[in-house]
């Protein structure tokens, strides 16, 4: 297949076919934190580089440490220089972007700090003419409710002549009750259509391409159902450990850190019905329907439908790594799960009886996120088993990261005489990197731009978050009522505990080799 040569600035060409964001001011709460430096500022710089930021765009960093505008700009330049996907920084682009970077020092609990923020914004807007405001909560979740309340008290949440929006980072609560309480608090300060709950997985090209792949092609959707699909596997594997986040991970575990949000988002996109239109609420309505159709797991069945694991010492890519209990600020007898395998069913007409298997873990052999659709075998086998094994099923796999692409596995005859017929699985591959000739935008670049445009398709809605927690919370509660697992039960650098393989083999299936 011949692919056209990439055009200059292809991201800009693709994005400019949409409307340009209106001038606005972005206020980042937690502006001295890791997220701002590693993701947000580099993403904003790249949007500026591609000419996708509106005129009159400004950034106000809100944090507790005392520093000048000049020092803040210098630190952000170092962050962009280190973490930007495009290097080296173009001096003229950075200088223009940095001239609109401002710093505001205040405690998140100080009403006077928010009153001063209102004055600072009014001063900036008098020069830029941009009255639209976008707030980004890049702080620990414990500050979300406080900041939302302080913004409301300072009269900073609504404007009759301009838009105001707020982006909230995960985690969205620790269970159903806390998620519902957070949503009530946010909605007391902001209308629901002002709230953008961000999951960076939804900004990845292949995640967005799931809907295009399913609903823009006539050959896949007719077989996307229980008649043709045997089961679905969703894998979110990480080779890293807790990376110094011991206290956070001790409270979260993999079920809260990955499964409740990332994995359930992938599930809803893979399983949803076609929306009536491709507009934000129509798409999100269908995602919510999927989550509400997931069969509940009773507390006493939590261990029947899940396998928990925790990594011990081992090796990743030939390098020795410690076990989870040996990580910094982790309890020596921790029972926090770093691996989870989960089986669930979606009780609707499309998916009745089709198991969905989710697995996620840390310190696995390689970082990879994938949705694999495993099809049923033909109703009658016309060809003998080869090499003592049956013919492998067809598999359609969508790789979300690290190498974004789609692959279809099917059986093909090995060249040779008919009398010695052999069938071998082969694959047809599509890769974003090689097919389009340019790197895709970073997830945060796309999501920040969508929030400025007011397109909430790629953000989680209140009922979507609560529907996911309604399924996950009984599992967590069921674990609390059961005997603690004997951890560690898998070696770092392996694909999880043996019990996870037995979990699949008891159903007559096996995990995909990645």
**Catalytic site positions:** 262
3-state helix, strand, coil in the chain (%, to 5): 40, 20, 40
395, 371 contact by CB (below 8 A): no
260: helix, strand or coil: helix
Tokens 């974004």 identify what position? 404
The residue count of the chain comes to 514
Bin 349: left if φ > 0, else alpha if -120 < ψ < 50, else beta. Answer: alpha
CA nearest neighbour of 374 among 478, 511, 251, 473: 511
297, 340 contact by CB (below 8 A): no
- Tell me how far apart the alpha carbons of residues 372 and 360 are, in angstroms, rounded to a whole number: 14
- Tell me how far apart the alpha carbons of residues 215 and 452 are, in angstroms, rounded to a whole number: 26
Q: At what angle do helices 462-480 and 280-293 cross, to 10 degrees?
A: 20
- Tell me how far apart the alpha carbons of residues 413 and 418 are, in angstroms, rounded to a whole number: 9
442, 430 contact by CB (below 8 A): no
Tokens 């076919």 identify what position? 17
The DSSP annotation for 71-124 comes to: HHHHHHHHHHHHH-SS-SPPHHHHHHHHTTEEEEE--TT-HHHHHHHHHHHHHH
436, 262 contact by CB (below 8 A): no
- Tell me how far apart the alpha carbons of residues 207 and 269 are, in angstroms, rounded to a whole number: 8
As given in the structure block, the two tokens for residue 270 are: 């893979």
Compute the Cα dihedral for 222, 226, 229, 234 and give only its sign. Answer: positive
- Tell me how far apart the alpha carbons of residues 474 and 453 are, in angstroms, rounded to a whole number: 37
Residue 108 CA: distances (Å) to CA of 56, 68, 154, 189, 467: 26, 18, 13, 16, 30
HSE, CB side, 13 Å, CA atoms: give it for residue 464: 30
CB atoms within 10 A of CB 52: 23
178, 244 contact by CB (below 8 A): no
- Tell me how far apart the alpha carbons of residues 316 and 439 are, in angstroms, rounded to a whole number: 27
């Amino acid at each position: 297949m011949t692919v056209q040569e990439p055009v200059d600035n292809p991201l800009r060409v693709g994005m400019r076919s949409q409307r340009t964001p209106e001038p606005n001011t972005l206020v980042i709460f937690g502006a001295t934190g890791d997220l701002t430096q590693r993701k947000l500022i580099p993403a904003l710089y790249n949007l500026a580089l591609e000419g996708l930021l509106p005129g009159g765009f400004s950034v106000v960093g809100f944090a507790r440490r005392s520093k000048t505008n000049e020092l803040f700009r210098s630190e952000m330049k170092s962050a962009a220089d280190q973490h930007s996907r495009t290097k080296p920084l173009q001096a003229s682009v950075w200088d223009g972007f940095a001239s609109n970077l401002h710093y505001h020092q205040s405690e998140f609990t100080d009403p006077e700090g928010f009153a001063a923020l209102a004055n600072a914004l009014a001063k900036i807007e008098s020069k830029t003419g941009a009255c639209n405001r976008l707030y980004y909560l890049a702080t620990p979740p414990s500050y979300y409710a406080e900041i939302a309340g302080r913004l409301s008290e300072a009269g900073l949440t609504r404007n009759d002549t301009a838009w105001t929006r707020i982006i909230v980072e995960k985690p969205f609560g620790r269970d159903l009750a806390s998620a519902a309480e957070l949503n009530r608090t946010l909605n007391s300060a902001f209308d629901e259509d002002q709230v953008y709950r961000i999951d960076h997985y939804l900004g990845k090209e292949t995640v967005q391409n799931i809907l295009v792949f399913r609903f823009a092609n006539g050959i896949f959707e007719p077989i996307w159902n229980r008649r043709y699909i045997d089961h679905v596997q969703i894998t979110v594997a990480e080779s890293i450990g807790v990376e110094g986040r011991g206290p956070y991970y001790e409270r979260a575990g993999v079920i809260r850190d990955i499964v409740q949000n990332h994995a359930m988002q992938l599930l809803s996109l893979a399983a949803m019905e076609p929306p009536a239109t491709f507009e934000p609420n129509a798409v999100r309505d269908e995602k919510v329907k999927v989550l509400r159709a997931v069969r509940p797991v009773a507390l006493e069945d939590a261990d029947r439908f899940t396998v928990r694991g925790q990594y011990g010492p081992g090796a990743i890519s030939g390098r020795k790594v410690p076990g989870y209990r040996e990580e910094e600020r982790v309890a020596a007898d921790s029972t926090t799960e770093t691996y989870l395998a989960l089986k669930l069913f979606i009780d609707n007409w499309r998916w009745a009886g089709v198991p969905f298997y989710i697995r996620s873990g840390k310190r696995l052999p390689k970082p990879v996120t994938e949705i694999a659709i495993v099809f049923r075998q033909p109703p009658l086998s016309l060809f003998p088993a080869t090499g003592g094994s049956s013919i492998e099923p067809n598999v359609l796999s969508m790789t979300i990261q690290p190498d974004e692409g789609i692959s279809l596995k099917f059986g093909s005859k090995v060249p040779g005489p008919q009398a010695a017929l052999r069938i071998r699985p082969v694959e047809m591959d599509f890769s974003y990197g090689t097919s389009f000739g340019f790197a895709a935008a970073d997830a945060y670049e796309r999501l920040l731009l969508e929030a400025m445009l007011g397109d909430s398709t790629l953000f989680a809605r209140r009922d979507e978050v609560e529907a996911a927690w309604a399924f996950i919370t009984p599992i967590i509660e069921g674990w609390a009522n059961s005997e603690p697992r004997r951890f560690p039960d898998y070696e770092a650098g392996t694909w999880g505990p043996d019990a996870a393989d037995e979990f699949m083999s008891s159903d007559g299936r096996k995990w995909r080799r990645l």
